Amino acid sequence: MSFVDYFKYVDNQYYGEELSLSEIAAKVGTPCYVYSRATIERQWRVFDSAFDSYPHRVCYSVKANSNLAVLDVLTRLGSGFDIVSAGELHRVMRAGGDAGKIVFSGVGKSDTELCHALKAGVGCLNIESESELHRIQAVAQELRVKAPISIRVNPDVDANTHPYIATGLRDSKFGLGARDAERVFVLAAAMPNIEIKGIACHIGSQLTETRPFIDSLEKLIDFIGQLARVGIGLSHIDIGGGLGIIYHNESPPTPDQYANALINVLKRRKCNLPIIIQPGRAIVGNAGVLLTRVEYLKMSSDRNFAVVDAGMNDLLRPALYQGFHEILPVRLSGSSTRHAYDIVGPVCESADYLGKGRVLDIGEGDLLVVRSVGAYGFSMSSEYNSRLRLAEVMIDRDKYYVIRKRQTVDQSMENESLLPR
């Protein structure tokens, strides 16, 4: 099954499921993020059923989109979660998630975070350095518990993606090289408060080929054989996330093709360890749009700009990764006064753009949608330029819910104070 989302034109008006986005803009205001519940559910189920023939767990990667309602939708489907901070842990718990199905990744877990995670009973801590192993042993001893751990190895595979989101090369800060990993596994096996669960990797994000996933899985299986020879047995393989989505003209493998490629390797290598996958982007990426209004059109002989009310603080991907997002008018006018525009925000930075050279028939006051922003959209947003954090809306068929209210001026300053007089 391929990628599908439930945003489309109906009678020249752009809809999310059964609601027109003009209506949402009229009621909630702009800019705002709008998600489709049906799309999130469909994508999660497509992943889960793609692995039907093999023992597996889908652990949604929370950093892609951590809104409580998104976590709620996934919790109800029985999802596990991949987290990278105590903040994400608290969100998953608040949404009713099962701690035992949480995998905690990240290179810099603090004592406090480890303590929260062990007390909550997370399913696995993915260790990224020898120092972290010692730290976890100490914290677990203090709490008189056994810490379930995996070691994240760095398979040295080129994910062929943007350098900022490639994490599996030898010189990356993530994971341990094979030689160090074996030594750390041996150390871990001898520690009283450590229980070895598995091996993990995550080689990058927005991958559009199966090859790097296959190569890393092969390397993990080689490594598992090496561990077996020194008497260390494992109970799962965590292959990470990273499957890409269609933003523009990419042709990433479908979840089915991705699952089949991995299962073929596992079966051929006679490996029967349960597999954990941690998709983030592939579940929520196409399930969200950013709804924004054109403030000003600025035409010149060199370049035309459409200045919109959303900026790089609201959606960072274009500025940070040169990420491409399709931009469409909410209402198709049928006239033919098209021009090429750079779609830019109000933030005082030249990197503040959402799209360049987009040919559109638009006027001031018109609504636009920026597509495929459900992942790494709101979750990477900031208040730069003292812009208020925008609202988030979830559409569920013909209803919508404001799942995050627009921030108020008072809220934006509530943790600050003037100096004493």
Ligand X SMILES: *Cc1c(COP(=O)(O)O)cnc(C)c1O
Q: Which one of 19, 62, 64, 395 is in contact with ligand X (CB under 6 A)?
A: 64
Determine the 3-state secondary structure of 89 from DSSP: helix
Q: Which one, 59 or 395, has the nearer CB to ligand X?
A: 59
Q: How far apart are CA 404 and CA 108, in angstroms?
A: 29
Q: Which residues of 76-91 are buried (b: 16+ CB within 10 A; e: fewer)?
A: eeebbbbbbbbebbeb
Residue ranges in 94-113 that form contacts with ligand X under rule CB under 6 A: 105
**Rounded Cα–Cα distance for residues 123 and 136 (Å):** 14
Q: Which stretch binds ligand X (CB under 6 A): 34-42, 208-216, 273-281, 320-328?
A: 273-281
* Residue 61 binds ligand X, judged by CB under 6 A: yes
Catalytic residue among 59, 201, 271, 348: 348
Q: Which residues pair with 236 in a beta bridge?
A: 198
DSSP conformational letter for 388: P
Task: Give yes or no for residue 318 binding ligand X (CB under 6 A).
Answer: no
Binding mask 228-257 for ligand X (x = CB under 6 A): ------------xxx---------------
Say whether residue 175 binds ligand X (CB under 6 A): no
The gap from C-alpha 272 to its chain's centroid, in whole angstroms, comes to 28
Q: Find the shortest distance in angstroms from Cβ 84 to ligand X.
A: 6
Residue 59 Cβ vs ligand X, minimum distance, rounded to whole Å:
8
The smaller minimum CB distance to ligand X, of residues 9 and 164, is found at: 164
| Secondary structure (3-state) at 290 | strand
Piece in contact with ligand X (CB under 6 A), picked from 137-145, 187-195, 276-284, 395-403: 276-284
Q: Could you identify the residue written with the tokens 């976590």? A: 71
- Beta carbon of residue 132, minimum distance to ligand X (angstroms, whole number): 14
Question: Smallest distance from the beta carbon of 317 to ligand X, in angstroms?
Answer: 12
- The mark string for 373-392 relative to ligand X (x by CB under 6 A, - otherwise) is --x-----------------
Whole-number minimum distance, CB 122 to ligand X, in Å? 14
Tell me whether residue 248 or residue 268 sits nearer to ligand X (CB atom): 248
Specify the residue, 30 or 66, whose C-beta has the smaller distance to ligand X.
Answer: 66
Cα separation of 270 and 379, whole Å?
39
Residue 356: count of CB within 10 angstroms of its CB:
14
Q: Kindly give, in sequence order, each residue whose CB lies less than 8 Å from that of residue 322, ignoring residues fewer than 6 positions away.
A: 162
- Nearer of residues 39 and 292 to ligand X, judged by Cβ: 39
Q: How far is the CB of 274 from ligand X (least distance, A)?
A: 17
Question: Given the rule CB under 6 A, which of 48-56, 246-254, 275-283, 300-308 is the region that contacts ligand X?
Answer: 275-283
In this structure, what token pair is assigned to residue 180? 């160090």
**Is there a contact between 327 and 369 (Cβ–Cβ < 8 Å)?**
yes
Which of 342, 294, 334, 300 lies closest to 318 in space, CA to CA?
A: 342
Between 139 and 239, name the residue whose CB sits nearer to ligand X.
239
Which of these segments, 60-68, 218-226, 346-354, 355-363, binds ligand X (CB under 6 A)? 60-68
Helix axes 37-50, 68-77, angle to 10 degrees: 40
Work out how close the CB of 278 gets to ligand X at its nearest, in angstroms, rounded to a whole number. Answer: 4
Q: Is 63 in the site for ligand X (CB under 6 A)?
A: yes
The count of residues interacting with ligand X (CB under 6 A) is 17
Q: Pick between residue 66 and residue 292 the one whose CB is nearest to ligand X.
A: 66
Phi-psi group of 17: left, alpha or beta (phi > 0 → left; psi -120 to 50 → alpha; rest → beta): left
Decide: is 154 part of the binding site for ligand X (CB under 6 A).
Answer: no
Least Cα distance to 288 among 67, 24, 30, 39 occurs for 39
**SS3 category, 347:** coil
The helix-helix angle for 178-189 and 211-229 (nearest 10°) equals: 40
Q: Does 161 bind ligand X (CB under 6 A)?
A: no
Least CB distance from residue 280 to ligand X, whole Å?
Answer: 3
**Identity of the amino acid at 39:** T
First to last CA, the chain: 65
Please give the Cα distance from 273 to 265 (Å, whole number). Answer: 12
Restricting to residues 184-213, which ones interact with ligand X according to CB under 6 A?
Answer: 202, 205
348 is catalytic: yes
Return the structure tokens found at 266: 């596992």
Distance CA 252, CA 278 (A): 17
Q: Does residue 74 contact residue 60 with C-beta atoms inside 8 Å?
A: yes
- Closer Cβ to ligand X, 205 or 216, answer by number: 205
Pick from 168, 280, 329, 345 the residue near ligand X by CB under 6 A: 280
**Given the rule CB under 6 A, which residues bind ligand X?**
61, 63-64, 82, 84, 105, 202, 205, 240-242, 278-282, 375
Catalytic center residues: 348
